Amino acid sequence: MASVFSRLSAMSLLLGLVACGAPSVNNTDPTQSKGVKVVTTFLPITLFTEAVAGDCADVTALIPPNLGPHDFQATPSDLTDLSGANVLVKNGLGMEEFLDDLISSADNKDLVVIDSSTGVKTIKAAGGGHHDDHHDDHHADDHHDHGHGHSHGEYDPHIWLDPVRAAQQVENIRDGLVKADPSCADGYKNNADQFTAKLNELNTEFTAKLKPYNGKTFVAFHDFATYFANRYGLKAEFLVDLPEMNPSPADLQRVAAQVKNSGLKALLTEPQEGNRSFNALAKDLRVNIVEFNPLETGSAESAKVPGTYFEVMRSNVNNLVKAIGD
């Protein structure tokens, strides 16, 4: 009992300090008035959800922005976040292979899970460093996530890099939040409308800018660009399937042949990638390295600003044009 009274006394003292003007983080935290707690997975999903949520909900990223989904290791605080959340928003398509176990451990029976890939046309994942020129489209809601180890599922998950599919993800997030929190339905709808309008404008802009390069090939370090390439009539090749893989001598030979055949001016690398073999290959082939950011990671500041998506994607397209050359 004494410990209970001690805690109550300490609480009374704390409340007294707050009442006397001691600084209180909670009193100045704008998220206090946002009743709905939304947890997102990684950077693009966080950006899209921040855009839709606006002032209606409090958005927290499960994966720190500087980590990609493959590098994430859950901690007890992540379980706490998920246990106290109302909504979880994910990309889906096997990108977040850790989620099922984490959701089960969080034991939050009221948690609403929004899969932003639902209904989005998908492309089957191709292994072995090569994509066929012809793809069968499949619907994302025809599948379940089956990530094993550090592989993706049956379908390529990088849908957010196509602005048209990204707009569909935003609409899925909107619909999920409206259903979970009808009290702010108008806010979610208006925010989503504004963001999808910008995504459609971006697609129009990219279509015009990349039209002269129709049918051209570009080479990226890892396999993330198929949706983007298909949207704009380009061909995407890559050195390795996943960013943490090491290329084999056969991979390097294949890419060297592709670069020579297509007359590329540069290879596309990713922020903080620094793969020595890729850099060495570029040097041997006498081509440059330019950056294409697949938006799997970013800074903590950028993750809170939905406009990051447009800034990064425009930079990607400018660098892609440099890579392809004339």
| Token pair recorded at residue 222 | 């890892």
Nearest to 69 by CA among 180, 247, 222: 222
SS3 state at 192: helix
Kindly list the distances between the CA atom of residue 137 and the CA atoms of 40, 41, 173, 202, 232, in Å, as whole numbers in the listed order: 27, 25, 22, 23, 16
Question: Hey, where are the domains in the chain?
Answer: 209-324
| Token pair recorded at residue 67 | 């980590």
pTM equals 0.83
Convert the pLDDT of each residue in 47-71 to its tens digit: 999 999 999 999 999 999 998 888 8
Separation between Cα atoms, residue 271 and residue 265, nearest integer Å: 19
Separation between Cα atoms, residue 218 and residue 193, nearest integer Å: 33
The answer to whether 88 touches 113, Cβ cutoff 8 Å, is yes
Look-up of token digits 């129009």 = 204
| Token pair recorded at residue 117 | 């890939």
Phi and psi at residue 282, to the nearest 5° = -60, -40
Convert the pLDDT of each residue in 81-132 to its tens digit: 999 999 999 999 999 999 999 999 999 999 999 999 999 999 998 654 444 3
Q: Can you tell me the mean pLDDT for 26-39?
A: 62
* CA angle centred on 312, ends 42 and 239, rounded to 5°: 75
Phi and psi at residue 325, to the nearest 5° = 80, -165
Separation between Cα atoms, residue 221 and residue 239, nearest integer Å: 5
Q: Does CATH number 3.40.50.1980 belong to domain 209-324?
A: yes
Separation between Cα atoms, residue 157 and residue 117, nearest integer Å: 8
pLDDT at 244 (0 to 100): 81
Convert the pLDDT of each residue in 217-254 to its tens digit: 999 999 999 999 999 999 999 999 888 888 999 999 99
